[in-house]
Amino acid sequence: MRLLKIVPDNTNIAFVRVRHIAFAITALLTIAAIAMVLTRGLNMGVDFIGGVSIEEKFASPPPQDEVRETVNALGVGEAALQQLGGANTVTIRLPVPESADPAATDQMVEKVKAALAAKFPGATFSNYSTVSGKVSDELIQNGILAVVLAVMGIAIFSWLRYEWQFGVSTAVAIIHDVLMTLGFFALTQMVFDLNIIAAVLTIIGYSINDKMVIDDRIRENMRKYRKMGMKELIDLSVNETLPRTVMTSVTIMLALGALLIFGGHVLRGFTAAMMLGIVVGTYSSVYVSSSLLITLGLKPGFREDKAEASNAERVGPREG
């Protein structure tokens, strides 16, 4: 069993010592992610922008310009193309027909299938999906609302369970994790759809679980070592939970690696988002969230000392 230990026992890594470097790196990455989203934008899937998504598999990697010209010549709207999985599979995104009749959509898909089969011998149709513009608007609103409520709920829970510093540090770390995921999808231009929203919510759940374990240990050590300096106490707490943190991350990454290899291109975006989320979530738990408590002025025995001082004021000095 000793050979299976990824992190040795009794580690003594000075995480707090490099907190200013970690904060600077975190700030730069966050700014870069926001800039990437604002400049490049997200490659929204049919779930969010509406339209018809046709998946076509070719015998060999096709020239995308020729595929686009072939589809645009049919008069069914301007086509947006993206390669999925291997270079032979292409997703063609088209606007929903004006009539919004399922029969009209079927006719449009059949026309595209026939044109591509004639132009590119060996091309085969896989499947298609369609979402109306009204539904896509509702999905965008509900997706944003779900993420915002999740972050707010976690921050409030941390505030009530511990001190306000824990709530703020947890919210900052989770917002960082979400922005890193959005920046990654803006950089890679992978399709951003409802599967990715599910991945983001899963990442938030993993991050809060990881942070709660560390916060619980910090809280426990605050009561146990009331005279210990906050830097030493946080380093001790993070090192004590480090084997659990790393083992959990590695175990999940192994499962996601198998899903990435054998899950097919349909789950590739979800898996990529999850793998990135595990990495940045672990980083933010160890280097950002815990060390931020010092910057926010947390002290050992903070809540207990405050309660005792309040009681002493109410009781007043005892008579000799």
Digit-coded pLDDT (tens) for 291-310: 888 888 777 655 555 444 44
Digit-coded pLDDT (tens) for 244-261: 888 888 888 888 888 888
In percent, how much of the chain has pLDDT > 70?
Answer: 82
Q: Is the pLDDT of residue 3 over 80?
A: no
Residue reference for tokens 């759809």? 193
Element at 81 (helix H, strand E): strand 80-83
Highest-scoring range by mean pLDDT, 82-96, 117-131, 206-220 = 206-220
How many CB atoms neighbour CB 275 within 10 A? 19
Nearest in space to 46 (alpha carbons), one of 148, 127, 150? 127
Report DSSP letters for 168-204, one per residue: HHHHHHHHHHHHHHHHHHHHH--EE-HHHHHHHHHHH
Backbone angles phi, psi at 152, to 5 degrees: -65, -45
Distances (CA, A) of 217 to 81, 233, 245, 275: 50, 10, 12, 26
The mean per-residue pLDDT over the stretch 204-231 comes to: 82
Rg (CA), the chain: 26
- As a whole number of angstroms, the distance between CA 149 and CA 156 comes to 10
Q: What residue type is assigned to position 115 of the chain?
A: A
Collect all residues with Cβ–Cβ distance below 8 Å to 286 and sequence separation of at least 6.
15, 214, 238, 242, 245
Q: What integer pLDDT is reported at residue 312 of this predicted model?
A: 46
Q: What integer pLDDT is reported at residue 114 of this predicted model?
A: 85
Backbone angles phi, psi at 171, to 5 degrees: -65, -45
Digit-coded pLDDT (tens) for 122-179: 787 777 777 665 556 676 777 778 778 877 777 777 777 767 788 788 888 888 888 8
Collect all residues with Cβ–Cβ distance below 8 Å to 304 and sequence separation of at least 6.
223
Confidence of residue 35 (pLDDT cuts 50, 70, 90): very high
Q: What are the structural domains, with CATH classification, of the chain? A: 11-43+136-299 (1.20.1640.10), 51-131 (3.30.70.3400)
Token digits of residue 5: 């230990």
Strand-pair partners of 127 = 55
Q: Is the pLDDT of residue 319 over 50?
A: no
Q: What residue type is assigned to position 317 of the chain?
A: P
Of residues 226 and 177, which shows the higher confidence score? 177
Q: What residue type is assigned to position 164 of the chain?
A: W
Q: What integer pLDDT is reported at residue 132 of this predicted model?
A: 62
Is the Cβ–Cβ distance between 293 and 230 less than 8 Å? yes
